[in-house]
Amino acid sequence: MSSASYGGSSSKRPLVIVLAVVGIVAIIVGVLWFTGATPSFLNVGSHVHKGGHLIRGSVAVVVGIAALVYAWFLNLRSR
C-alpha cells in the first residue's frame, strides 16, 4: 500500500500518538496520587491537605480517559 491510499490520515497520526501517550501518563499519575506515592516534583508548591490527593487523582484519571477516548475517535475517523 502506498501512503496516498490513506488520504489525510497521516496528518492526524502524530496527534493520535501524543493524545494516547498523554492519556496513559495522566492515568498513571492519577493512580500514583490515589496511592500517595507521587514524586516530589508533582507536589511542588502544593499545600494540599487531607483529601486533596483524591481530587487531583480523580481529575488526572478523567483527563487521561478523555485523551484516550479522543485519540481513539480520531483514529477511527482517519480510516
Neighbour tally for 21: CB within 10 Å = 13
The number of CA neighbours under 13 Å toward the Cβ of 37 is 5
Q: Which domain holds residue 57?
A: 16-39+48-77
Does the pLDDT of residue 69 top 90, yes or no? yes
* Integer Cα distance of 37 and 74 in angstroms: 33
Domain count, the chain: 1
* Integer Cα distance of 30 and 1 in angstroms: 40
Residue located via cell numbers 498513571: 28
Answer whether residue 64 is part of any domain.
yes
What's the average model confidence in pLDDT over 7-22?
83
What's the average model confidence in pLDDT over 57-71?
95
| pLDDT tens digits, 27-58 | 999 998 888 887 777 766 666 555 677 888 89
Band of residue 78 on the pLDDT scale cut at 50, 70, 90: confident
Answer whether residue 66 is part of any domain.
yes
